[in-house]
Amino acid sequence: MELEFLSWAFAVALMQIVFIDLVLAGDNAIVIGMSARNLPKSQQRQAVLWGTVGAVVIRAVATLLVVHLLEIPWLLLVGGFLLLFIAYKLLVQEDGHDSIKPGGTLWQAIRTIVIADAAMGLDNVIAVAGAAHGNDLLVILGLLISIPIVVWGSTLFIKLINKFPWIVYIGSGVLAYTAAKMITHEPEIKPYFERSTFFSLSFIAVMIVVVVLAGLLTNLLKRNKQAAISSRDSA
């Protein structure tokens, strides 16, 4: 789907990409903080800056590649369902950063940030590629807007998420919306959705509700299980 530059649809897609980058920036902040924490204060800022630059370059190239790979038949559908799973995992993710070792030198810290971000950046790459609708300019603009926010504001965003947990559910809903739109725009099945606007919108709404409810129920079951274990241990 071609989006005209500076059109309303272009602006909405750009805001969607920036929001996705922010929602998925938590891992970036954790990686950056853990990788640079053992460096002298004078080098921490350099590690954050150059580590982030390296990570963003790799992510930009990967995203642009995925944008065009999604033009291959059925890959848009596969990517959509994968992004639905990512949206669900965003709500129920476990802390998986124990294996990230702090760098002892500036170069080690930068290398750790770049490698760890590349390994964990699949969700961001797929989400942004789906929201970009094949538009390379959207990918670049979204990253350029998001970089300073991620570098200097991601820790603040984490604090906001900790204070207002519902922000994560909004983020998951945005990812689910993006995923559902990817599925409805898969060329092999797009004609079925184009026959009825009601069917297309209903499908998107159902996907959002299913993902958010699945996350809520999973978190509720986990809390009940943890409460049962705690009460049994204290007995």
All residue ranges of the chain with pLDDT < 70 are 1-6, 23-38, 93-104, 116-123, 146-159, 161-162, 235
- The widest CA-to-CA distance across the chain, in whole angstroms, is 64
**Which pLDDT score is estimated for 218?**
94
Domain containing 120: what range? Answer: 8-234
- Look up residue 95 and give its amino acid: D
**Which pLDDT score is estimated for 203?**
96
Residue 2 lies in a domain: no
Residue 146 lies in a domain: yes
Q: Helices 8-23 and 136-163 meet at what angle, rounded to 10?
A: 50
**Which pLDDT score is estimated for 156?**
62
CA dist list (Å): 167 to 47, 145, 158, 170:
29, 20, 10, 5
- Look up residue 81 and give its amino acid: F
How many whole angstroms from its chain centre is CA 75? Answer: 19
Question: Closest Cα partner for 106 from 39, 171, 182, 32?
Answer: 39
Residue 87 lies in a domain: yes
CA gyration radius, the chain? 19
| Cα torsion angle, 132, 178, 169, 126, sign | negative
**Which pLDDT score is estimated for 46?**
80
Please name the residue that has the structure tokens 């092999």: 188
How many independent structural domains does the chain possess?
A: 1
Tell me if the pTM is above 0.95: no
CB contact at 8 A, 111 and 103: yes
Residue 159 lies in a domain: yes
Residue 199 lies in a domain: yes
Residue 3 lies in a domain: no
Residues in the chain: 235
**Which pLDDT score is estimated for 94?**
58
